[in-house]
Amino acid sequence: MTHSPRFVSAILAWRPTWFLARLLLTSAYILGGLVKLTDWQGTVAEQAHFGMSPPAFWAALTIALELIGPLLILTGRLVWLGAGMLGVFTLLAAFTANAFWTMPAGQERFMATNAFFEHIGLIGGFILVAMIADRKQADA
C-alpha cells in the first residue's frame, strides 16, 4: 500500500479541511437556495418550465432541500440525511433538467451530457461524505 506524501496527509488531517470539503461540496446548493429564496417568482417559473406541478409547491420544496441538506452536512448532524436529501434531489434534477438522451446531436446535447454526469459526480461526493461522517462517528 502506498501512503500519501506527508504534506497531503497533513492537509487531510487538518481539522478545517473536513469542514471546507463539505462547504465546497454544498456551496452550489446553498447559493441556489438563497438565490431561489430571494427570487420567488423566478423560482416558481423555473419549476413550471420543467413541468413541475404545482410549481409553487416544488419551488418551496427545492428551496428547503437546498438549504436544509447543506445545513445538516455542515453541522455534522444527520449527515447521512442531508447527503441523502441532496443526492436524491440531484439525481432527480439530473434526469429532469439534463435528459441528454432525448436531444438531437449537437451543442445542447453535449452541454446536457456534461451537466448530467457532473450531477452524477456530486452524488458520489454525497455518498463519500456520508461514509466519512459515519466512520468518524463510529470512531468517536
Q: Determine, yes or no, domain membership for 52.
A: yes
How confident is the model over 27-43, as pLDDT tens digits? Answer: 999 999 999 999 999 99
* Residues 23, 38: Cα–Cα separation, whole Å: 21
Q: Determine, yes or no, domain membership for 39.
A: yes
Q: Determine, yes or no, domain membership for 78.
A: yes
Range of the domain at 110: 6-139
Count of domains forming the chain: 1
29 Cβ contact partners less than 8 Å away, ≥ 6 residues apart: 65, 66, 67, 69, 70, 86
Model confidence pTM above 0.95: no
Q: Determine, yes or no, domain membership for 58.
A: yes
Q: Determine, yes or no, domain membership for 1.
A: no
Place of cell 448530467: 116
Q: How many residues does the chain have?
A: 140
Tell me the one-letter amino acid at 91: L
How confident is the model over 84-130, as pLDDT tens digits? Answer: 999 999 999 999 999 999 999 999 999 999 999 999 999 999 999 99
